[in-house]
Structures are given as C-alpha cells and as structure tokens.
Amino acid sequence: MELLTFGRDEANSSYWGEVHGPFMKEELVCQAQNMMTSRGIFMNNDPLKFAMPLLMLQMSVIIVTSRLIFRVLQPLKQGMITAQVLTGVVLGPSFLGHNVTYMNMFLPAEGKIIIQTLSNVGFVIHLFLLGLKIDGSIIRKAGSKAILIGTASYAFPFSLGSLTVMFFSKTMGLPNAVVSCTSSAISLSSMTSFPVTTTVLAELNILNSELGRLATHCSMVCEVCSWFVALAFNIYTRERTMNSFCALLMILLLLLVIHFLFRPLIVWLTERKTKSTNNKDVVPFYPVLFLLSVASLSGEAMGVHAAFGAFWFGVSLPDGPPLGTELAAKLEIFASNLFLPCFIAISGLQTNFFEITESHEHHVVMVEVILLITYGCKFLGTAAASAYCNTQIGDALCLALLMCCQGIIEVYTTIVWKDAQVVDTECFNLVIITLLVVTGISRFLVVYLYDPSKRYKSKSKRTILNTRQHNLQLRLLLGLYNVENVPSMVNLLEATYPTRFNPISFFTLHLVELKGRAHAVLTPHHQMNKLDPNTAQSTHIVNAFQRFEQKYQGALMAQHFTAAAPYSSINNDVCTLALDKKATLIVIPFHKQYAIDGTVGQVNGPVRSINLNVLEAAPCSVAIFIDRGETEGRRSVLMTNTWQNVAVLFIGGKDDAEALALSMRMAEKPDLNVTMIHFRHKSSLHDEDYSDMSEYNLISDFKSHAANKGKVHYVEEIVRDGVETTQAISSLGDAYDMVLVGRDHDLESSVLYGLTDWSECPELGVIGDMLTSPDFHFSVLVVHQQQGDSLAMDESYKLPKVEHHQKIGDTVMQPRFSAEEGFTTIDLGKL
C-alpha cells in the first residue's frame, strides 16, 4: 500500500491520508485511542471530535431533517424514502456540504465509518423484515394477466433501453466505461421490486384496491424476471474458473440451508414456545437474531452483501402473525425508524450535483436521455400490456405509473454498485436523481388519477325500502373485528325473522389489521392459511354463525370472508364485497365498546375512521351497531335469552324510513314486540301532508300491523322542541333490548330544535349520538340510507309469492338457495 499524502489533525488526535485502494484512491484514517466519549466542554474537550457525540449529532440531524422535508412534501404525496434521500442531498456536498468547514465538522473522515456501519446493520435488519412480510406463494397466485403485464414491464424497457445504448454507442462513439455504466443503470431502471410496490400502495391507501392487488402480483412477476436476468448475466460474465463455480455453488447451498434448516428450526421453536407459554404472541426472538447474523455473515463470506442472506432468510419464514407481527414490532422501532434513515441519507450524501455539472466528460446528457427512454418504455410497455388484457385505460395508466415507482431496493443496489465501481460517480448521481423525479411524479399522478372507490360509487344505491317494495331478498353484510361482536349480530339476524318463504342472505367479513405481511388479503374463510392465527379467530366466528344457521336451516344463506388490510383503506374491502354480493345493508360495529356497568370501556379511533369511510362511499344502506350486549349479560350464541322488545324512533326523513322498513320485517316475528315511537310536533297533528308518499305509506302499513297484531305497537309522542324530545327518549329506560333510529332527519323540524348545535359523533346523527350516553343500556342500530337513485332491480333475487296451499312446515327450499355463490350448507348428520 503506497502512502500518497499524509497529515495530522491535532484536535482530533487522528491521522489521515490518501492511499491506493482496490478500485481508486481512498482515504485512510488512523484514529487515536480513547476517542469514544468526550470528557466535556468544561475539560476543554470538543464533543464533536469524539465518536459517540458525533454519531448522536449525525443521527439526530438526519432524522429531524428527513421528518421536516417529509412534512413539506406531504401535499405532493411523496414517501419517506424520497424525503430521506433529499435529506442526504441537502446535508451533503450538493448543498450544505459544499462548505468545507461544515463538512469537516458534521461528517469528518473519521466520523463516516461509524455511521455507515450502524446504518448498514439497520438496513440489513430492515431488508430482513421486508423479506419476512413477503408471502412466497403469491407468485403462484398470479394469473395470466399479471404474468403478461409483469413480464412486459421488465422486458420492454430492458430490451429497448439496451438497443438505445447500442445505437448511441455506434453513432455517438460512447466510451466502453460509459456503455458499461449505462447498461447497469438500464437493468436497474427496468426492475420493479415487490417490497417497494407494496410500500407505495400502502402509503397511498390503495393496497387492497383492485388496482393495488393487480400491481402487487405484477411487481412480483417483474422482480422474478429481474432475478433471472441478473443470474444469467452473472453466470455469463464470471470467469470460467473453479473458484467462480464454487462461489455460485456456495450461494445456492446457503439458500438451501436457509430454507430447509433455518426455516423448520424457527417454525418448530415458535410452535414449542407458543405451547409452553400459552401465548400466541411469543416468538423465539434471540434464535431469530442469531440465525439472521449467521445468514448475513455467510452472505458476506461468499462475496455477496450481508443483506442478501438476511432478505432470503426473511422470505423463508412465515409471514403474518405471530412470527411476522412480533418480529416487526420489535425490530422496526430501531432498524427502520432509527438506522434506516441514516442508510438512505448516506446515498444522498454521496450525491454531488457539482460533479455532474463540472464533469469533463460530455456524456452526461446522453446517459440521462437513455435513462428517460428506459422509463418511458417501461411506462408504455406496462400500459400497452394492460390495455391488451382489457384493463380500463385509466387503470392501465395508473398501473404503468405504479410500476415506474422505485425505492429502497433500487437505492441499495445503486450504492452497492457504486462501491464496487460497477457505476461511476456521475452515473450514480444521475440514477439517484432520475429515480427521485420519476417516482415523485408517478406517485403524484396516481393519487389524482385513481380513485379506488369509483367501482362502487354511483348514483344508484341499494336500500331496504326498495327491497321491501319490490319483494326482493334481504342481503346483509356484517363487519366484525372479533368474537365479541358475534352474539349481538346473531340477535340482529334472528330479529329480522328469516323464513323459508322470506329468506335472508348474509355475509360475514372478519376485519383484520394488516401486520407482519406486505400484501392485503380478501379471501373466503375456507381458503385461508390454516397456520395463520387470524384463521383461528375467523374459525370461531364462522362456527358461531353456523350454529345459528343450524337453527334456521333453509331460511338462511351464509358466506364468510376475511379481509386483512391497513385500517386506513380496509373500507375498500367492505364496499367492494357489498357491491359484489349485492348487499342491501352493511352493518358495522360502533368504535366505542361498553363495559358491563354501561360506561365506555374502550375507544378505537381507527374503527371510527373505517365507519366514516364506509358511510361516505358504500353502494347500499349502512347501519352502525352500538352493541351493549355486555351490559345486558348476553354474550353467548348458545344463550336462548334473545331480544324480546324492539323500538324504532321515527322523526321523519329517508333514514328514519329506512329504519322503519327494517323494523317492519322484524314485526313479522311472532314472539318479538316491536314499537314505533313517532315524534310529532303539536302543530302538525292535523297536517298529514308528507313530502314523500312512500314514507306516508310505510307509516300507514305499520299502523295496520299494529291494529292487527298484538305485539306490534304504534305510539305518538307529541313534543314542542328538542328538550321534550330528549325527555321522551330518556324515559325509554330499560324497556327495550334494541332501538332502531335513522341517522339524518329534517334538521329544520321543531322536534329537534336546540339539539343540532353540538354532536360528539356526527356519524350517528343527532338522536344516535344522544343514545351513546351511558344512561341507556339497550343496543342501538343507527341506519343511514345512501343518497342516490334506486338500483335496477335484479329479478334473480325476487322472492316468489307465497301460495295459499303452501303449509308453514313445508320444507321446499327457495330456488335461489343454491351452491352457485358458494354458500354454506349445514349437514345435520355431522353436527
């Protein structure tokens, strides 16, 4: 090693100089001993001349700056990766780092190696977590559409970009070094990594949308294509020696050891520890860390980056709970939130705009043109393949933009290539800048071009009122978060009185927050992974409803689903399933849970956001269920003590009419007392002029029921203002098990005078918000009729008229009770 220059910094007690490295001249720093921690400014020590204080300063500045830039870029819908790279650019030689004094203070030569080492450790763990969240079987689930689009998304830019390089090389006389760098940059620009795509989709709240699921599968196919090309290129360019062959063989052996030794060992330890502690959230944390270190060290020993072994070790392990969820919760705090920003910022620190502009070569513009052509071919190739697969033009363009988004994987690859001199500094700068610009523009355009709710947003909505008027089958979608939601939902189904001649179809949707996995899931219960703990909870829910189905065999049709998605976008699954299954009413739990003494026990903010999002875009009527079954002492499906008394509060309006239409069905049940409490102002006693005749007819029908059936009652409450209305509602006491009420009313009604000034939960309306008070002990169903025209009626769900010769005990099943929709059937012989 030849020493070229040599100097000494007395203040730092360090020696530095330039030496010949394996690829270029490098800086050699000799640090004096005992320079870890400072003795303090009072002992005439500068803290920034010591390793630990300098590291704390660097990490603090990087994290704070990245957060500030992220806040500034939020209106442009940019991700945290973009903010962290720009943080490095701002703090690096392109801006602040152009000042030599600042650079020697903030990032001196002796301070680089420590932060680079720690940030690389964080990146290795982060890449392990990305691999852990990947379900390897998703590639087998990709259909022909995703395979075609994913393949075209890589083949088009890679082939046409390579042809462009060949053309410029022949016509412009590009040097071999530039051709080599540009060819590597083309292969990088052509790829779309699965972890990056799912991260972008989650940040844009479209992970579980129709476009999000297609992009997820396409990105996996595209990434597999890039793996095959990289492997083929590596084999082709390696020297034909025994050492090269052994290196490839050892890498293959490492992957086999990870899959057939490390994976079974961790799965066995997880099952063993779960059984011994009777806690499904306990995982073998330290054995996982040990094997992670072994896999990473083995990768380095075989000539690949430590992140290679960590990533494939993560891919080999089961995603989702308990392993993926617990490991992500423990490791993401310091790996992804503390060290990863430093790793990404370092890529920006290595970017120098002045080297681009001051480069003595004249090929920078040509390289940038080639990169833009490659991205353009990727966009056009993806859009063309999507259009060929009959994807709507708007969705095809958005999918093409999503496939152009790149992130942490591409940044990491660029850094590794720069360190190995695969790309030079100018090409590195251009790749990072182009990546940021293309990804930023693509994210921004996707947000404003794609609306995941457009599929179920329309002027026409399904309502209970129209179902009743057209004699159609009632179809309910029940959203549940846990087993505790089941008993009251079963009581609600039983109160709707399903019979063989007036059956009900219902669909249960178990809503699970996405944790420990990268892709969203919406699947029928019977197709779920049996090893997933969410499957066990879903099974308990399904079993409870099947016991209820047994009681009403032939009068109910059921189908059970599970949705695992971020709570910020899981409303898309609710609305999509409601549209696909032609649901009449969506029933979702209230975000507050009540304790046994009637007080509010738990408040779940994300659930409230879900309810608001469903109310905004649902394709049918929506009901928010305030469940006080705990206060009533009925938490078991097997208990026979079900609802006996139901009331519906009627003030006026479409929502009240929708609630009244549902109560009319309940009034058909022989052993259920149903009471309509009609609030009327004194001045309207002699005014029967209803603006909506359907509302008038509905009230008249209920009065007829009340006159002919002893268990149906019609009560008028004459009030003068909101105070008397409140007093009348407060007098309900414990007389009812369940109260139905509309969400919105005529706000100009004198009945509500003084009640509309303040509301804690606007999603419940004035009266519904009042009924959340701990003073009431009955459950409440707040019904909202979506605004819009009535949908064209599907005659296939029209109920046949009951013939007079049919007997009540007739066992003939309705024609729509078939297996064409995969409904659950109950075999009494097996129960």
801, 649 contact by CB (below 8 A): no
Q: What are phi and psi of 479, to 5 degrees?
A: -90, 130
Cα 354 to its chain centre, rounded Å, is 40
Over 156-182, what HEC string results?
Answer: HHHHHHHHHHHHHHHHHCCCHHHHHHH
Q: If you write DSSP's letter for every residue of 65-115 in order, what string do you get?
A: HHHHHHHHHGGGT--HHHHHHHHHHHHSTTTGGGSHHHHHHHS-HHHHHHH
Over 610-666, what HEC string results?
Answer: HHHHHHHHCCEEEEEEECCHHHHCCCCCCCCCCCCEEEEEECCCHHHHHHHHHHHHH
Token pair of 690, please? 């209803």
Q: What is the CA radius of gyration of the chain?
A: 33
- The residue-averaged pLDDT of 343-360 equals 72
Return the pLDDT at 386: 93
- The residue-averaged pLDDT of 252-263 equals 90
What confidence category does residue 690 fall into, taking pLDDT thresholds of 50, 70 and 90? low
Return the pLDDT at 14: 54
**Alpha-carbon distances of 724 from 679, 727, 752, rounded to whole Å:** 10, 5, 9
Return the pLDDT at 20: 54
- The residue-averaged pLDDT of 313-321 equals 82
Q: Which helix (H) or strand (E) holds 128?
A: helix 109-132
β-pairing verdict for 621-626 and 600-603: unpaired
Q: Give the count of alpha carbons within 13 A of 210, CB side only.
A: 16
Tens of pLDDT along 403-421? 999 988 888 888 888 887 8
Most confident region among 7-21, 67-81, 274-288, 321-335 by mean pLDDT? 67-81
Q: Which of 670, 633, 663, 631 is nearest to 647 (CA)?
A: 663
- The residue-averaged pLDDT of 465-477 equals 85
Tens of pLDDT along 566-602? 888 899 899 989 988 889 999 999 988 887 777 777 7
Return the pLDDT at 283: 78
The type of residue at 210 is: E
Token pair of 142, please? 């990709």
Cα 777 to its chain centre, rounded Å, is 35
Share of the chain above pLDDT 90, in %: 20
Tens of pLDDT along 509-531? 999 888 767 778 888 887 766 54
How does 315-345 read in b/e, with b if 16+ C-beta sit within 10 Å? bbbbbbbbbbbbbbeebeeebbebbbbbbbb
What confidence category does residue 446 fall into, taking pLDDT thresholds of 50, 70 and 90? very high
d(CA 636, CA 483): 10
- The residue-averaged pLDDT of 280-292 equals 82
d(CA 289, CA 96): 38
Q: Which of 56, 36, 55, 64 is nearest to 111 (CA)?
A: 55
d(CA 191, CA 157): 9
What confidence category does residue 29 fall into, taking pLDDT thresholds of 50, 70 and 90? low
Q: In sequence order, what E strands does 493-571 have?
A: 504-513, 521-524, 556-565
517, 133 contact by CB (below 8 A): yes
Token pair of 771, please? 């009924």
Q: Which residues on adjacent β-strands are paired with residue 586?
A: 477, 622
Secondary structure (3-state) at 14: strand
Token pair of 102, please? 């600042």
Q: What are phi and psi of 246, to 5 degrees?
A: -65, -35
β-pairing verdict for 645-650 and 621-626: unpaired
Say whether pLDDT at 628 is over 60. Answer: yes
Strand 779-784: give its sheet, edge to edge: 521-524, 556-565, 504-513, 474-480, 585-589, 621-626, 779-784, 738-742, 645-650, 673-681, 712-719
Return the pLDDT at 10: 40
Q: If you write DSSP's letter for every residue of 463-491 in order, what string do you get?
A: -HHHHHHTTBPEEEEEEESSGGGHHHHHH
